[in-house]
Amino acid sequence: MQRRLILLGGAALLPAPALRAQPRWPDREVTILVPFGAGGSTDVSVRAVAGEAEKHLGVPIQIVNRVGGQGTASLTAVDQARPDGHTLGSGAMSGLAIAPHTMEVSYTLDSFAYLPGAARFLYGIGVRAESPYGTIQDLINAAKARRMTFSATGPPNNLGMFDLNRRYGTRFQFIPFQSGAEAVTAVLGGHVECTSQTPPEMLPAIQSGRMRLLASSSPGRWKEFPQVQTLRESGFNVTIESLLGFVAPRATPPERIVILADAFLRAARAPAVEATLTRFGMVPEVMEAAAFEQAIRAGHARFGEQLREAGLARR
Amino acid sequence: MMDGLIQGFAVLLTAQNMGLCVLGAVLGTLVGVLPGLGPATTIALLLPISLKLDPTGAIILLAGIYYGVAYGGTITSVLMRIPGEASSVVTCLDGHAMARNGRAGAALGIAAIGSFIAGTFGILGVMLLSPPLAELVIAFGPWEYAALMLAGLSLIAFFAASGVAKAALMALFGLFLGLVGLDPINGAPRFTFGVPALVDGINIAPLALGLFGLSELLFLALGKEQRAEILRPPSTLLGFMPNREEWRRSAMPIARGSVLGFLIGLLPGGGAVLASFLSYGVEKRLSKHPEQFGKGAIEGVAGPESANNSGTAGAFIPLLTLGIPANAVTALLLGALLVHGVQPGPMIMERQPELYWGVIASMYMGNVILLILNLPFVGLFVRALEVPRRFMATAILLVCVIGTWSTGLNSFDVLLAVIFGFLGFVLRRGGFDLGPLVLAYVLGPTLERSLRQALLIADGDLTEIVNHPIALGFLVVAVLVLLSGVVFRRRPAVVQDSGS
């Protein structure tokens, strides 16, 4: 009896907030789902941006690591979340533009409303110190003459090498490894001949003189090695494109998207964010929501083609 | 080196760092006791908080959790036959059997002391042997891993208390369970039946908690197995300790487990689970009374529990000297270092001596703290066995469900644990050993991935293995182990009394 009274009392209070005049949104915390585990480059970058965005939104941002399904579990959760702007997703090419080609996912590119992009992942090609190949030209010439193994985790890390195979007639053979660290170790031990990975795993080996960076496979050079050219600068028209940005469920009210997009855009420009990104081998790439959406859609189309050619797409 | 260590202790002996060391060890023990919630999950949860600390303090805290877990995991294994951690699965076999024989205190005591010895040995190894051992890590490629995994699998011959055929059947089933998930080479989903939760494979938490924990519950519920009368617990601390005979039998297993665990811990993908199983297999093979294994042989606790502890120390070598994480936990530690702008690698000793030596000193201290923490509580834990059966059953159910849920926040995993619970019950009733199943499930994926990588590199040429002497060595070991386990099962008592 008593319990019922309390319930009734609670119900009577409910309409009260609705009577208030147009409160400023957001009025409570926003949650961002991160597709990978805590401490990784995606997680740390998202936290850095979120930490700045909190200041602009005026509410706390909660980070939830929804790991699983190769980065697709968190996007699935965003797709199914209530579209009120309080649940957002973060993601790179892997979940948005690559996974739909390689596995069955319940979402499409149209399942999301796009927010700004914040960062770009860097990639590079390295050989071990004992390797006879001193330049990227040497390596590519050798790979034209014979089959050459390279280690990488998975798309997009391996796609640059597939592009080289297609455009320049090289015979790079992809050897998949579970983690970037294992991929780099395999090169150091001479078990594979080169690697296509990202700075966090390659830098310790390069800085200690065990590995040589032959080229950056990103549009820009690595900050730590400004003398090493990009593939494009070396005359090979190949880049690996991977961006990190934010998405929301499709049906999120547009006026809330505008508020969020503005906050994330300003947050992504903060100097503190750049400092964090640099430590994890990324560079800031602040993109308006529309530009980020366009980049993801373009990536989706291009990756689909590359993956089908490499026999890695879902049949 | 002594200068370094003194500097390390100077770094450690500040109120903040000592506090963090104790906090990490206590948290680690708790996490170890609670099944499901593993070190990786806990460290991931604490990572954002640790960002507020300086890098040395952060690593001291997170490392404390990591090796604290290896202590705590034993407790639930011994008392409830639920593996507190994956690395304590094998302790369920003899640790719990000892508890039933009224020797729970001895099992917990020897595990804590063995862990302390092995942990200290591991740290010494990290301090003295880091550079040469880092080279060993690099020398291991796909062929070497594939052969090592085969050697590990061959140990199943020793688990075969139930007969070779049954053990082999269980191993095949374990291998099959390891296949669920994405194909390691082309990423195609296998045996996922359209269930998204299966894309990442079957987690070890529902598997181990179901097979060991929930199946135990079914035995309790059906009352088919009577719990042995627990002797009135001794009132003094010494009464809980292993007796002279148990000490004598444990000495060599602890020594062997320390070395074995350390070497396996170095290798990426090796890890504490493999180390503990390897140690169990080795001890059973060398024992003068292998028939006691599974029925409460203290060697089956002392060896594996030492191995999983020295393994955690070993994993720091590739992390600190090469920047290569050997497992999920050290990958998180690497992330924590990078967040703080510390780049691990060969230069870390010169560039960040206070961090390097501070962590080493904290590991010595952490092991002492854990020993002090664990021994006095042994008596308390043993009394938990006096809890009436119906309460114990409820506790087991609760612990298993929460443990399974907490690892992935995934209700499918809980369902999976229940399925494995019934499966474990049926299999145990049918006289099947669950050890080979778990071992094959743990090793299978690495075996498959390494072998397929090796064959891709060699362009399908299996004979390429002759160029890999380490791999050949492991293969020879595997064959010898299989022969001695299968062909010469009735082993004459020729092993001399070496005190093992």
| Residue A309 confidence (pLDDT) | 84
pLDDT tens digits for range B405-445: 776 667 888 999 999 999 999 998 888 888 889 888 888 88
CB contact under 8 A, A149 and B45: no
Residues of B in contact with A70 (CB under 8 A): 182, 187, 199-200
Instruction: Judge if A208 and A131 occupy the same domain.
Output: yes
| Residue A286 confidence (pLDDT) | 95
Instruction: Judge if A35 and A172 occupy the same domain.
Output: no
The per-residue pLDDT of chain B, averaged, comes to: 82
Instruction: Judge if A136 and A117 occupy the same domain.
Output: no
The pLDDT-based confidence of A138 (bands split at 50, 70, 90) is: very high
Instruction: Judge if A31 and A86 occupy the same domain.
Output: yes
Q: Which residue has 């028939």 as its token pair?
A: B291
CB contact under 8 A, B457 and A204: no
Three state DSSP letters for chain B: CHHHHHHHHHHHCCHHHHHHHHHHHHHHHHHHHCCCCCHHHHHHHHHHHHCCCCHHHHHHHHHHHHHHHHHHHHHHHHHHCCCCCHHHCCHHHHHHHHHHCCCHHHHHHHHHHHHHHHHHHHHHHHHHHHHHHHHHHHHCCHHHHHHHHHHHHHCHHHHHHHCHHHHHHHHHHHHHHHHCEECCCCCCEECCCCCHHHCCCCCHHHHHHHHHHHHHHHHHHHCCCCCCCCCCCCCCHHHHCCCHHHHHHHHHHHHHHHHHHHHHHHCCCCHHHHHHHHHHHHHHHHCCCHHHCCCCCCHHHHHHHHHHHHHHHHCHHHHHHHCCCCCHHHHHHHHHHHHCCCCCCCCHHHHCHHHHHHHHHHHHHHHHHHHHHHHHHHHHHHHHHHCCHHHHHHHHHHHHHHHHHHHHCCHHHHHHHHHHHHHHHHHHHCCCCCHHHHHHHHHHHHHHHHHHHHHHHCCCCHHHHHHCHHHHHHHHHHHHHHHHHHHCCCCCCCCCCCCC
The pLDDT-based confidence of B485 (bands split at 50, 70, 90) is: low
Instruction: Judge if A147 and A294 occupy the same domain.
Output: no
Q: Is residue A1 part of a domain?
A: no
Residues of A in contact with B337 (CB under 8 A): none
The pLDDT-based confidence of A261 (bands split at 50, 70, 90) is: very high
Which of B135, B149, B186, B448 is the best mutation test for A, with the most CBs of A within 10 A? Answer: B186
Distance CA A275, CA B412 (A): 40
CB contact under 8 A, B335 and A43: yes
- Cβ(B366)–Cβ(B67) below 8 Å: yes
ipTM of the prediction: 0.79
Instruction: Judge if A203 and A139 occupy the same domain.
Output: yes
Token pair of A158 as six digits:
């391996």
CB contact under 8 A, A279 and B331: no
CB contact under 8 A, B194 and A104: yes
| Residue B239 confidence (pLDDT) | 63
CB contact under 8 A, B324 and A181: yes
Residues of A in contact with B410 (CB under 8 A): 68
Of B196, B332, B457, the CB nearest to A69: B196
Of B188, B338, B456, the CB nearest to A200: B338
Q: Is residue A100 part of a domain?
A: yes
Phi, psi dihedral angles at A212 (to 5 degrees): -115, 130
Mean pLDDT of B370-395: 76
Instruction: Judge if A153 and A191 occupy the same domain.
Output: yes
Distance CA A23, CA B203 (A): 45
Separation in Å, CA of A251 to nearest CA in chain B: 24
Separation in Å, CA of A172 to nearest CA in chain B: 11
Instruction: Judge if A159 and A116 occupy the same domain.
Output: no
Instruction: Judge if A107 and A246 occupy the same domain.
Output: yes
Looking from the CA of A117 toward its CB, the CA atoms found within 13 Å total: 24
Measured between CA atoms, the residue of chain B closest to residue A47 is B48
pLDDT tens digits for range A297-307: 999 998 998 88
CB contact under 8 A, B199 and A68: yes
Residues of A in contact with B343 (CB under 8 A): 203-204, 207
Mean pLDDT of B333-337: 81
Separation in Å, CA of A52 to nearest CA in chain B: 15
Mean pLDDT of B222-246: 62
Q: Is residue A130 part of a domain?
A: yes
Mean pLDDT of B367-376: 86
CB contact under 8 A, B199 and A189: no
Residues of A in contact with B336 (CB under 8 A): 39
Residues of B in contact with A178 (CB under 8 A): 184, 269, 449
Of A149, A182, A204, the CB nearest to B268: A182
| Residue B458 confidence (pLDDT) | 94
CB contact under 8 A, A176 and B453: yes
Q: Is residue A73 part of a domain?
A: yes
Higher pLDDT, B349 or A128: A128
The per-residue pLDDT of chain A, averaged, comes to: 88
CB contact under 8 A, B138 and A68: no
Instruction: Judge if A87 and A138 occupy the same domain.
Output: no
Residues of B in contact with A102 (CB under 8 A): 187
Which CATH number covers residue A42? 3.40.190.150
A130-168 burial string, b = 16+ CB within 10 Å, else e?
Answer: ebebeebeebbebbeeeebbbbbbbbbbbbbbbbbbeeb
Residues of B in contact with A63 (CB under 8 A): 48
Which CATH number covers residue A206? 3.40.190.10
Instruction: Judge if A130 and A114 occupy the same domain.
Output: no
CB contact under 8 A, A186 and B332: no
What is the extent of the structural domain holding A262?
A: 27-121+242-309
Q: Is residue A19 part of a domain?
A: no
Q: How many folded domains does chain A comprise?
A: 2
Separation in Å, CA of B419 to nearest CA in chain A: 21
The pLDDT-based confidence of B238 (bands split at 50, 70, 90) is: low
What's the whole-model pTM score? 0.81
Q: Is residue A13 part of a domain?
A: no
Instruction: Judge if A31 and A112 occupy the same domain.
Output: yes
pLDDT tens digits for range A29-61: 999 999 887 777 888 899 999 999 999 999 999
CB contact under 8 A, A38 and B48: yes
CB contact under 8 A, A39 and B335: yes
Which of A42, A157, A185, A274 is the best mutation test for B, with the most CBs of B within 10 A? Answer: A185
Distance CA B173, CA B105 (A): 35
CB contact under 8 A, A65 and B44: yes
| Residue B492 confidence (pLDDT) | 43
Residues of B in contact with A204 (CB under 8 A): 322-324, 343-346
Separation in Å, CA of A254 to nearest CA in chain B: 31
Q: Is residue A4 part of a domain?
A: no
Residues of B in contact with A106 (CB under 8 A): 196
| Residue A257 confidence (pLDDT) | 96
Q: Is residue A226 part of a domain?
A: no
Of B48, B324, B332, the CB nearest to A185: B324
Q: Which of A198, A216, A234 is the last residue of a domain?
A: A216
Distance CA B411, CA A4 (A): 31
